[in-house]
Amino acid sequence: MIDWRHWHNEPYLIGGLILLGWLYAIATGPLRRRLGGSAPYPLGNAACFAAALGIFYLAVGSPLDQIAERFLLSAHMLQHLLLIYPAAALFLLGLPPWIARPLVDHRLLRPALGLLTNPIVCGLIFTLTISVWHAPLLYDWALQNKVVHVWEHLFFFGAALFFWWPLLSPAAARPPVAPAGQILYLLGVIIGMTPLFAFITFSSDVLYPTYEYAPRLIASLSPSDDQLLAGVGMKLTGMAVALLMISIAFRRWYRSEAG
């Protein structure tokens, strides 16, 4: 059964999060004058960045990880949704423009980043990455192999950064797309993710053997119902986030037109 006192403390997880926090502290502290000139300490950004690291750890380091790996696909989906939406969004919101500038403006990286941050490319990277990793063979492999599972989560988080970039880009040289473009972009992502939602939700078979034969953590929740719950949760969360961002973009668009 589940050990609710077990929180992951592997060096690569704790060390990676500490390293990111340390690099952020150096960039916003001793290096702030060099990178940002007279910019004040970005307290709001720092709070977002810290929240992103905290949510990332809760998703993959808390007892939720045990439930996700061993018992419930719906818990695994929740784990991924935490990485894709709040963690990735807060990560980008945590970066002040002057931190992103050296990377985005680097003459050697500028052409590649210009292509990769194109909204169409961002949407394709996100939808293809999430969809490919949900192929039964690959998804179940990640459940059986810890190293592959770590890479799966890193791929999801990285793809989520691409998803959020056209909406929350911290780089002045590559700002978020215009509100009308954001609306079209989000509608495109909703459409692009629909086949994956249908594949998981409406499949007549249990797609992932790990969950088909897992002990029933909730006796009344069968593997098929668990899979249905995971698919519906993925779609509803994605739709809710997209509709929220569309409403924000539409409001900005209306204000710019009215002003």
| pLDDT, tens digit only, all 259 positions of the chain | 666 677 888 888 999 999 999 999 999 999 888 888 888 999 999 999 999 999 999 999 999 998 999 899 999 999 999 999 999 999 999 999 999 887 777 777 778 878 888 999 999 999 999 999 999 999 999 999 999 999 999 999 999 999 999 999 998 888 899 999 999 999 999 999 999 999 999 998 999 999 999 988 888 899 999 999 999 999 999 999 999 999 999 999 888 777 6
Full-model pTM: 0.93
What's the CA gap between 155 and 220, in Å, rounded?
Answer: 33
What's the CA gap between 199 and 204, in Å, rounded?
Answer: 9
The whole-number pLDDT of residue 1 equals: 62
- Please say whether the beta carbons of 76 and 150 come within 8 A: no
The whole-number pLDDT of residue 106 equals: 73
- Please say whether the beta carbons of 188 and 214 come within 8 A: no
- Please say whether the beta carbons of 64 and 78 come within 8 A: yes
Please report, for residues 62, 80, 204, the alpha-carbon distance to residue 227 in angstroms, rounded to integers and kept in the order given: 22, 14, 10
Please report the sign of the dihedral spanned by the C-alpha atoms of residue 140, residue 146, residue 147, residue 152.
Answer: positive
The whole-number pLDDT of residue 256 equals: 79
The whole-number pLDDT of residue 259 equals: 60
Place of tokens 């799966």: 152
Closest alpha carbon to 119 in 52, 151, 75, 167: 167
The whole-number pLDDT of residue 2 equals: 64
Closest alpha carbon to 79 in 3, 8, 172: 8
Phi, psi dihedral angles at 67 (to 5 degrees): -65, -40
Closest alpha carbon to 113 in 192, 178, 171: 171
The whole-number pLDDT of residue 36 equals: 80
